[in-house]
Structure 1
C-alpha cells in the first residue's frame, strides 16, 4: 500500500453550514457539489463530511437514527452518489464521519432494545438495574424498570461493543459505505467504544484495540483507506497502538495535546491564554514519533473547536498574519494535514450576545449547569463567546452580502457580520490572502518529500518564538514563527539559501528557509 494519505490534505466540511442549494437555510449535498471547483482550486485531496445520515439532529447528526440513509435535510442517496462521482472527476476523495460509540434513541435498534428485557436487541445497548458511577450517565426507562448508559445526551445511548452482533452490524454498515466509493472514515470518539461501566472505565478500555483490529480486518483493512480516530485521551504512546504500521488498526488519530495547553486544569471551558512554551512541548512530543511508530494528524480546528484566529491569534490588526503564521507553523510539520472549512479564509468566532443565538446542545447544557451554580448570564455568555462549538458552525462566508452567499433563505445559524470583509470572493481575488497561503502549503505537501520523510528538531528560542528544523540526509529547512503581537529576536548561524513561504509580515516574523 502506498499510503496516499500521508501526502494528502483533507478539508473538513460541516454540511449544514457549507452551502445551501435549495434556500431552506441549511447546507446540503448539492451545495457541496456546487463548491467542488473552489476546493479543487484550493488544491485539497479529500473532503471529510460531518455526519449526513438520518438523524433527529439533537446533536446535529452525531445522533444517528439510520446508518443506511441520507437525512432529507441534506438530500438523497442519489445526491451523495453524484457527489462521489463529481469529486472523483476532480481528484477529490470523500471521507465520511462515522459515530459508532452511540446511536440516536430513535434508531430502530434502540426502539427494539427498549421493548423488553428479552428482546433480541436488548443487549445492543447497556442496561442495568442501578446506575454505576456517574448518575448523569444513566437514564431510567420506566417500561422495563432499568437504566441505560450514555456518555453524551440521554438521546444518544451507547452501544454495547461487548456484543459480537453489534460489531458485526457495524462492520456490515461500514462495508456498505466503502462500496459506495468513499475513501475512508473519521471515527467519532473512538477511544470510548471499549468502555466497561462496571469498572467505571469509559476511555481506553481493555478491549479497545481488539475491537479496532477486528474492524480493520472486516472492513477498511483490505485497501488503502484513510482512517482517523477522534481520541481526546490519546497520547504519543497511545498513538503507537492506534496507528503503528504493523498494528493493523487505524491510519492515525487526532491528538489534542496542543489544544489542551489552553485548557485550565484540563477543562476546555476554563480557557487559558496561548502558552507558546507549552505548545512547543506538546507538538514536539508528537513530532518525535517516527513513521515506523505512528503517523500524525495536523489540525488547527474542527466543528467542535473555536476558530484558531480567535482562540490563539489576533482577530484585529494581525488577523491575516496570525492565520497565515499558524497555518505555516502547523502544516510544515510531519503528518496528514486537515483544514476546517473557513480556516483558509481566516474566519473568526461569532460575537454571541445571548443564548438564543446559540444552537449547540453542549453550550446549552453548559449554560444550564453554570446557572444552577449561581453564575450570571453575562459571565456564562462571555465563556460561550470564546468556546462554544457554534463558533465553528456559523455558515461559510462565500460573499460579502448579508447572507454570505450561503443561502437566500433564513440561515439555520446566524451569519457572522464580518462576512462583509472576510469571504471567499474577496480571498480568491487577493493574491496575498490567507487562501493563497493555504494553496501554496498544499502544493508544497504534494511536491516535497521532506515534508513526509524529514525529521523534526525543535530549536532553542525566545518563549514567543516557535522555531524548528525539518531535516533529511541532504537537506535542512528552517521554520520560524513569532506567536506574539510584538517584535521578537531570533538568532542562528544558519545561512539562508531560499525563502519558500512566509506570511508577508515583518522580515523576522516568519520565514521558511532551506539551509
Structure 2
C-alpha cells in the first residue's frame, strides 16, 4: 500500500478562554445551577427556536468575526453576523450528531433534509456545541440507514442537492460550528458504480463459495454470491454492502479523492465509519474459535469466533496514514474503531480521536464505569459517546433517574464529547418503525421541536412516529430553567472552565468521582445516598449544598 504518510506536526493548541471572566478580565462569580426550576440561579442565555438569532457570546470563542479579507468588523449575511468556527482545541470539542432524516423536514415529504438542518442551527449554536457531525446523506438505497453509499460525491435527492450541502456548510460556519461529514471507507452499496466498473476494488473469494468462516456484523456468513458474475464477495455488514479491498492501491487513492472533494467544499473533517474493518488478513484466513466472550458486544457473538483475521490487520496503520495523508494535517478526523482502548495505538497515531466504546457499553455500575474511564483516558485521544443512532438513548441505557448524571459525566471527561440529537431534550427510544433490519429505528425517531402538527418536524407524514420526551418539546423546554435543555446548556458552558489533567478519586460505594484541575466531578450510580467528595463551591448539581448527601442518580460539578 505504499509508505505510511505521517501527518505534519501541529501547533500546540492555545489555551481556552474561561466563561467565568467578564470582558474587562475581572473574575465573575458563579452561582450554583441545580436541577430544579427554583434553584436555577443567575442569568440564562436566550436561544433555540427556528428564526431566532443567537446572541453573541462573551466567552472569547467568537470574538473575531469574519469578513472580507482585511476586514475586522462585523460582516452581516442575511441579517446574521458571520462568525468564524470556534478556535477551541480539538480535544475539547463538543460535537452534536445529526441524523439528517430525523432532524428537520423543510419540504413536507416526511424526511428530514439539509435545508431543515440549516433552519435549526440556532438550536445547536444555542446549546453551545462546537461542531456538527452529519450521518450519511449521500445517494443510497437506505438498506443500512445511508451507510450503504451509492455515490460518495453527491446528495440523495430526498435530502437535497450539492448546493444545499454547500449552503449548510456556510451557514454552520456562520454560527461558529465546525462541520464533520460521515464517510464510509469499509464498503459501498452494491449499487455503487464501482462494484461493476471496478470489481478488483472489492474482496472476492477464489472458491465457488465462501472463502472462510467469517461472520457478518449483523449475523450470518460474511460472503454472498453475486448473481451477475456468480462469484462470492465479502460483506462485513449487510449483503448489499460489499467490502472494498484496501490492499488494492487504487482504493485508498479513490477514497482520498472523496475526502478532498468535500474538504474543497469547506468541510472541516470527518467521522470515519467502521475503520477497524477496512484492512483484513491478506490471506483471508479463518477466524479462530473464541476463548471467551467478545470484549465488546457483537451481534454475532453466538458464532463462537474471535474476529482476529476479519478486522484490524497488523498493518492497519498504513491505511490510516494514507487517509490522513489524503485529508491533510488540518482535517479533523475521528475514528469509529470498535476495539478496546489498548488496541487503538495505530489509529490515534494518525487520527485526532477515536470513540470510547468501553464507556458506551459499560453497565451503569460504579466499578464498571470507573474501569471504562480509566482504560479510555490512557490514549489521551478519547471521543466520548453515551448514545447514538446505533445504540439505546440515555433513558433506556442508564435509566431515567440517571440521565442528568450521565450528561454531566459525558461533558466533563477529558476529550471530545459527542451529543446525539435529542439527548439534550431527554429523548428516549421510540417505537420500532420496521425500516431497519437490526431494529435501530427506535434510536432514530424525529426531533420534537414544538407544539405544531408532528411536533414541528414536518408538515407531512413523518417517516417514523414522533415521541415527545417527558420534559416536553424543545420549545417547551426553551424557557424552563429546570429543563434537560437548560442542564445541557449550563454543562457545556461550564465545561469551558475545566482545566487539563485527570485523576480518578477514591469515593463512597456506588460513587464515581474524579478531579480535573481545581474541578471535582461526582455522580452516584448506586441505590442509596452517599456522601459527596469534599468541595468548596458547587457549580452545577442535583443537590442543595456541598454538605448534602448525593442521592441515587445525583451528580455534581464543583471546585475544591
TM-score by length of 2: 0.75
Partner of 1:271: none
In the TM superposition, residue 470 of structure 1 has moved relative to its aligned partner by: 2.0
1:414-433 matched pairs, under 5 angstroms: 414-416=465-467, 418-419=468-469, 421-433=471-483
Deviations 1:31-67 (A, max 9, x none): 0000011111111111000001111111111000011
Q: How many residues align?
A: 438
In the TM superposition, residue 240 of structure 1 has moved relative to its aligned partner by: 3.0
The alignment status of 1:307 with 2:353, answered yes or no, reads no
Q: Please state which structure has a larger fraction of its residues in helix.
A: 1
The separation in 2 between residues aligned to 1:13 and 1:220, in whole angstroms, is 25
The separation in 1 between residues aligned to 2:160 and 2:230, in whole angstroms, is 39
The answer to whether the 8 A contact 2:334-2:352 is kept is yes
SS in 1 for 2:232: strand
Partner of 1:481: 523
Question: Which of 480, 502, 505 in structure 1 is aligned with 2:541?
Answer: 502
Question: Which of 328, 332, 342 in structure 2 is aligned with 1:237?
Answer: 342
The separation in 2 between residues aligned to 1:217 and 1:187, in whole angstroms, is 14
The answer to whether the 8 A contact 1:401-1:420 is kept is no
Distance change >3 Å, CA 310–CA 157, structure 1 → 2: same
The answer to whether the 8 A contact 2:284-2:310 is kept is no
The alignment status of 1:257 with 2:354, answered yes or no, reads no
1:80-479 matched pairs, under 5 angstroms: 80-112=165-197, 121-128=198-205, 129=207, 130-131=209-210, 132-134=212-214, 136-196=221-281, 198-200=284-286, 201-221=309-329, 223=330, 225-233=331-339, 235-243=340-348, 247=349, 249-262=350-363, 274-287=364-377, 289=378, 293-314=379-400, 318=401, 322-352=402-432, 357-363=433-439, 389-416=440-467, 418-419=468-469, 421-446=471-496, 448-450=497-499, 453-462=500-509, 464-471=510-517, 476-479=518-521
The separation in 1 between residues aligned to 2:326 and 2:469, in whole angstroms, is 46
Gaps of 5+ in 1: 113-120, 263-273, 364-388
In the TM superposition, residue 491 of structure 1 has moved relative to its aligned partner by: 5.5
The answer to whether the 8 A contact 2:501-2:516 is kept is yes
The separation in 1 between residues aligned to 2:469 and 2:426, in whole angstroms, is 11
Question: Which of 44, 49, 61 in structure 1 is aligned with 2:129?
Answer: 44
The separation in 2 between residues aligned to 1:420 and 1:21, in whole angstroms, is 26
The separation in 2 between residues aligned to 1:188 and 1:256, in whole angstroms, is 14
**Greater RCO (CA < 8 Å, at least 6 residues apart):** 2
Deviations 1:71-102 (A, max 9, x none): 10100111110111111111111100000100
